[in-house]
Amino acid sequence: MTRLILFPHRRRGARRPPPARCPRRRPRSQLLRRPVPSRHRYAGSVPFDLRNQPVDRRSEAALAARGLGYRSVDPSDRAGLDAWAQADQRGFHHLRPTESDLEHERRIFAERRVHGVYDPTGAEPAIPVATISSWPTGLSMPGGRSVDAWAISSVTVAPTHRRRGIARAMVEAELRDAVEAGAAVAVLTVSEATIYGRFGFSPAARAATVVVDRRRAVWKGPDAPGRTHLVDPRSLRDAAPQIIRRAVARTPGEIDRWPVLLDRVLGLIDPESEGARRTRAIRYDDQHGETQGFVTYRITREPDRPGVLEFDFMAAATDDAERALWRALVEVDFIGSVRGTLRSVEEPLPWLLEDPRAVSVEEVLDHLWVRVLDPVAALGTRRYGVAGSLTLEVDDPLGHAAGTFELEVSNGGRAEVRRVEASEASPSSSRRSRRAGGIRLGVPELGAILLGDVRPSTLARAGRIGDAGALELADAMFATRKAPQLSIWF
Model pLDDT, residue 437: 85
Q: Is 67 annotated as a binding residue?
A: no
Whether CATH 3.40.630.30 fits 28-183: yes
Rg (CA), the chain: 24
User: Which residues partner with 46 through β-bridges?
Assistant: none
Model pLDDT, residue 76: 92
Q: 356-377: per-residue pLDDT in tens?
A: 999 999 999 999 999 999 999 9
Q: Is 165 annotated as a binding residue?
A: yes
pTM, two decimals, is 0.89
The predicted model gives 412-433 an average pLDDT of 72
Top pLDDT among 39 and 464 is at 464
Residue 305 phi, psi dihedral angles, 5° rounding: -125, 145
Q: What is the DSSP string of 353-402?
A: BS-GGGEEEEEEEEEEEEEES-HHHHHHHS--SS-EEEEEEEE-TTSSS-
Closest CA to 295 of 233, 226, 214, 367: 233
**Domain 370-478 in the same topology as domain 208-368:** no
Residue/partner pairs of 468-474 with CB below 8 Å, 24 or more apart: 468/439, 469/437, 469/438, 470/390, 470/391, 470/436, 470/437, 470/438, 470/439, 471/439, 473/386, 473/388, 473/390, 473/436, 473/437, 474/390, 474/439, 474/449
What's the CATH number for 370-478?
Answer: 3.30.1050.10
Q: Mean of the per-residue pLDDT values for the chain?
A: 89
Q: Is 46 annotated as a binding residue?
A: no
- Tell me if residue 334 is catalytic: no
Classify 437 as helix, strand or coil: coil
What span, in angstroms and rounded, lies between the C-alpha atoms of 347 and 279?
Answer: 24
User: Which residues partner with 440 through β-bridges?
Assistant: 393, 466
Residue 457 phi, psi dihedral angles, 5° rounding: -65, -30
Q: How large a percentage of the chain has pLDDT more than 70?
A: 87
Closest CA to 424 of 411, 438, 413, 409: 438
Check 7, 70, 196, 405 and give the catalytic one: 196
Residue type, 10: R
Q: 238-252: per-residue pLDDT in tens?
A: 999 999 999 999 999
Top pLDDT among 4 and 223 is at 223
What's the CATH number for 208-368?
Answer: 3.40.630.30
- Tell me if residue 490 is catalytic: yes
Model pLDDT, residue 426: 54
What span, in angstroms and rounded, lies between the C-alpha atoms of 372 and 446?
Answer: 7
Q: How large a percentage of the chain has pLDDT more than 90?
A: 82
Please give the angle made by the CA atoms of 476, 478 and 482, to the nearest 5 degrees. Answer: 100
Q: Is 166 annotated as a binding residue?
A: yes
Top pLDDT among 16 and 458 is at 458
Q: Is 394 annotated as a binding residue?
A: no
The predicted model gives 402-408 an average pLDDT of 98
Left (φ > 0), alpha (ψ -120 to 50) or beta: where does 20 sit?
A: beta
Domain edges within the chain? 28-183, 208-368, 370-478
Q: Is 164 annotated as a binding residue?
A: yes
Top pLDDT among 38 and 147 is at 147
| Res 65 pLDDT > 70 | yes
Model pLDDT, residue 5: 47
The predicted model gives 408-417 an average pLDDT of 97
Q: Is 419 annotated as a binding residue?
A: no
Model pLDDT, residue 466: 85
**Which CA distances in Å does 206 have to 106, 313, 363?**
30, 16, 10
Q: 47-56: per-residue pLDDT in tens?
A: 556 777 889 9
Q: Is 410 annotated as a binding residue?
A: no
